[in-house]
Chain A
Amino acid sequence: MPLIDRHIMYLSRRRKGKEEGRQIMIKIANLSKSYKGKIVVNDLSFSVEEKEAFALLGSNGAGKSTTIKMILGLVKADKGEIQVKDKKTIGYSPETPSFPSFLNGAEVLTYYAKLQNIPKPEIEETVERLMQTVGLEIDKTKVKFYSKGMLQRLALAQALLGDPDILLLDEPCAGLDAMGRIEMIELLKRLKKQGKTIIINSHILSDIEKVCDRGIVMNRGKLMRSWNQVDINEECTLEDIFTQTLGGAM
């Protein structure tokens, strides 16, 4: 598709979004964080709109995970502001999920469902549905015997508990095989279609390209550039944008 058409499509989508009254779900302003004098996130600002999939890109140590943790309140920011739209719930899938090893998948979800105060009569149905959604079987296999990919799926399932408005996914495709990645991408597309706002932190640029509308590239805690789907075409992939941006900075 010619670039101009893609640009028109993108603008019309944005306009449609604004007409629909699409609101800012997360707004980050001048966020900074340092550990023992080492700056991890440096004056970072961006916002994520309702129903969009937003990517945080960057090499290791760029500050992506720290940014996600600050949004979740797991890490305190030194400076700056994080605004999450009123009464919007957040689901989080960590990069390296660790669950109580003696439980099976369904029991893990039941455990987190109880922590989330999901009404008891709904728990069983919710767990069954989510296990099915992420492609895991309900059986007696303990999570200590789960592969990395199965743990990622389970992590996503627990993030979906309570049907949150916003999903923060830290490396959701890490450890998945090719088929698993395809399924995960399809699942994320479905979630986006359902109206979820998704923020993804991933190293797999081709996956990001398929799911995300917009994103930023970070390096050493700083925002290096923003990108959107218009910037991506046959001549310029997300990988090109990434290397062009970080080529001089790395």
Chain B
Amino acid sequence: MTIMMNALKERIRRKELYIVVVVAVIILALFGSDAATISVEGEAVIGFQSMFRVLHVVVNVTGCLLAMILSLPTIPTEYREKRSHLVWIRGISQVKYHTQLTAANIVSSALAVTILYLTLAFYAITQGAAGYLPAMLPGLLITYMGIAIVSLLISVLSICLPSFAVGLIGSICIVAGIGHGLLDSYKNIIGGFSGTLIKWILWIFPDLNGIQGQAANVIIGDGVDVHVLLKGLLTLYIISLGLLLFRKKEA
């Protein structure tokens, strides 16, 4: 736990975390008040439940971006600055080292999302919907799953790939993950090579939108598709195997 706690303290000190959280809170506050409106397919979103769903998507997207920003440099920096030397020589295995750094990434990303969730809770209270608050805890836990997938994927890939490639794959993962539902609809319409390509993208990249949708469902009281959550857990498990498989040749 020593490496994890140390890396976590370092992540929490990063200014990017606070900048993105502050910007996201401002956006949420703007759209949560009457100062700005959101339109979906030309129609203004009105009513608590609809607005809450939209704000929940904003929280999830921001959380995924934060997970990528916070997770991307952790492992490469350890090796670039040769801090890894002083860890390796103490007989700490790569698996343990990388796992603890990854855990720090996930926990710091989860902390950022928790701050964003507090804004959602504040929004619910101001809208006279405090009754939804108890369900926000399981909702938050489900949202953590999507955030953990992004953070874990970025951390695992950063063991063996250069940061640029990891950033690119991470961005594609977030875009494809958030737009999963949309891509799924287009897949059948387009057909041919593009359709097959989208099919592969849907198969490779986890359904982040589906997971956040289930979180919102839990809070609002709609039905939850357990299949989506189980797929999310399976994704987490599969990606985490990368921590065992990927090794650095040299410190």
Interface of A toward B, CB cutoff 8 Å = 69, 72-76, 90, 92, 94, 96, 98-103, 111-112, 114-116, 158
Q: Is B87 an interface residue (CB 8 A)?
A: yes
A-B contact count (CB 8 A): 50
Instruction: Return the contact of A74 from the options B3, B9, B10, B89 (Cβ within 8 A).
Output: B89
Are A74 and B81 in contact, CB atoms less than 8 angstroms apart? Answer: no
Given known pairs A74-B251, A115-B3, the reply for A92 and B13 (CB within 8 Å) is no
Prevailing SS type, chain A contact patch = loop
- Of B6, B13, B249, the most chain A CB neighbours within 10 A belong to B6
Instruction: With both chains docked as a complex, state the minimum distance between the C-beta of B167 and any C-beta of chain A, in angstroms.
Output: 23
Are A75 and B85 in contact, CB atoms less than 8 angstroms apart? Answer: no
Q: Is B82 an interface residue (CB 8 A)?
A: yes
CA distance A73 to B92 in the complex (A): 12
Are B89 and A158 in contact, CB atoms less than 8 angstroms apart? Answer: no
Q: Which residues of A contact B34 (CB under 8 A)?
A: none
Given known pairs A92-B85, A94-B82, the reply for A112 and B90 (CB within 8 Å) is yes
Are B86 and A96 in contact, CB atoms less than 8 angstroms apart? Answer: no
The residue in chain B whose Cβ has the minimal distance to the Cβ of A117 is B90
CA distance A111 to B3 in the complex (A): 8
CA distance A142 to B85 in the complex (A): 21
Q: Which residues of A contact B9 (CB under 8 A)?
A: 100, 102
Given known pairs A102-B10, A115-B2, the reply for A73 and B88 (CB within 8 Å) is yes
Are A94 and B86 in contact, CB atoms less than 8 angstroms apart? Answer: yes
Are B92 and A76 in contact, CB atoms less than 8 angstroms apart? Answer: no
Q: Is B231 an interface residue (CB 8 A)?
A: no
Q: Which residues of B contact A99 (CB under 8 A)?
A: 83
